[in-house]
Structure 1
Amino acid sequence: MHKIDEKLADVTARIMRAAQSAQRNAADISLLAVSKTQPAERLREAYNAGARRFGENYLQEALDKQQELTALNDIEWHFIGPIQSNKTRAIATHFSWVHSVERLKIARRLNDQRPAELGPLNICLQLNIDNEPSKAGVTLNELTTLAGQVAQLPNLALRGLMAIPAPASNPEDSRRSFAQVAAALKQLRQSHPNCPLDTLSMGMSADLEAAIAEGATTVRIGTDIFGPRPNAAAANARSL
């Protein structure tokens, strides 16, 4: 059995070493446990080992797990997958963060459907930093316009950017892309000084060190905590 407590400790130690190497404070870097396709019991194991922030890609699967884990009321749920228009109400109601906003239409729906009593929904814009046709996200050329539009929506808090660079044979090769994301966030801070733009969601199991070296504040780790994903095809079917 894949021991989640040991793996979580290993990832936490990697984050601390990477932060030290980059001369950063490890406390400024959050670990998001990517739990897509993992059963609720595995999330409970991670919770008992200290994880509190969980990232989900598939809405119905996530809602089922939230129901099973209701008693763990300090979990912070993050939606990190593609967003269809018919899913926005549930996402706006059941998540604290959304990392994958790439269209104004989706942002407006999340804004309009966010329950007022929950406060603003934290938003990261997904940036397709390497302009890959197969990946979602806005381009650098589109980013400024979308950020300006999202910043005007009162029930959303524009917190930063999320990106997944193109695959690289050497994780260090991703540093150029990560550096571009960091530079894009710096520019947004200058143009939107009233937004709490404090989040760079980038870096996964294979390249978290490179991401932290370039300023990541949230690393999204799945495999190195939970092990290989179980029956991803079935999970995808459940999300439809």
Structure 2
Amino acid sequence: MTDHSPAVAERLHSIHERIAAAQRRAGSDAPITLIAVSKKQPAAAVRAAADAGQRVFGENYAQEGIAKRRELDRDDLLWHHIGPIQSNKCADIAAHFDWAQGVDREKIARRLGAARGEAQPPLQACVQVNISGEASKSGVAPDATEALCALVAEQPGLQLRGLMAIPAPPADGQPPQADFERMRALFDRLRAAGWPLDTLSMGMSADFETAIACGATMVRVGSSLFGART
């Protein structure tokens, strides 16, 4: 069995140093939440990250995330479902995850809210915005974001926390800074309109430092922490 602990712990330390450096360059001391994206990674790697101090994990596939949560059986970890949410997975996500970051349409918001158990705290929700306008990508259009935020806020089983985006990488291979800046502008505009948003989730392994410079409060890092997916 592979011992993931030393490599994962070292990478986690390096990522935290890079986050701190990005904050210093941006002149910001606002807290940044690191989500360890553990999609397609073995539970042993997730456990190694948890043992090294990581507390927030992200999964793209509901059943995979549920299985890892059960295997680790730790009450001190938070689990985010990231990305597109299928209608038939809403009940599982509402029951077993702490956050849903891919709320992109009315039906999903209503189903998640209805499925969240009354004995559970509200499911923390981020509206996914298709900031780059890709036809193949999930997410609400920027000009429809406020209406979806309003609907999410109305659901008794949900708590609206903020916005999430997965911008398209530019053709030149550079970080999608313009899309990050548009997301920050949208986030600020909604806050100015009175929406109590505290989370702007954007930036992944290849571009999280640029995202922080543009105002991200939450970054999602997978390969830089765990290495290549198995």
TM-score (norm 2): 0.94
Matches within 5 A, 1:14-93: 14-25=18-29, 28-70=31-73, 72-93=74-95
Q: What is the aligned-residue RMSD (CA, Å)?
A: 1.3
Q: How many Å apart are 1:218 and its aligned residue?
A: 0.5
Bigger shift: 179-188 or 220-229?
179-188
CA distance in 2, matches of 1:204, 1:96: 20
Give a deviation string over 1:106-135, Cα, whole Å, max 9, x none. 100111111122111110011010101121
Aligned to 1:107: 109
Identity of aligned residues (%): 50
Q: How many Å apart are 1:33 and its aligned residue?
A: 0.2
| Number of residue-to-residue matches in the alignment | 225
Aligned to 1:234: none
Give a deviation string over 1:174-223, Cα, whole Å, max 9, x none. 111111111111121233x3x53000000011111110001100000000
Bigger shift: 116-125 or 147-156?
147-156
Say if 2:9 is the partner of 1:5: yes
CA distance in 1, matches of 2:48, 2:20: 22
Say if 2:151 is the partner of 1:149: yes
Q: How many Å apart are 1:170 and its aligned residue?
A: 4.5
* Structure 1 residue identity aligned to 2:97: F
Aligned to 1:202: 202
CA distance in 2, matches of 1:224, 1:171: 17
CA distance in 2, matches of 1:196, 1:229: 36
CA distance in 1, matches of 2:83, 2:150: 22
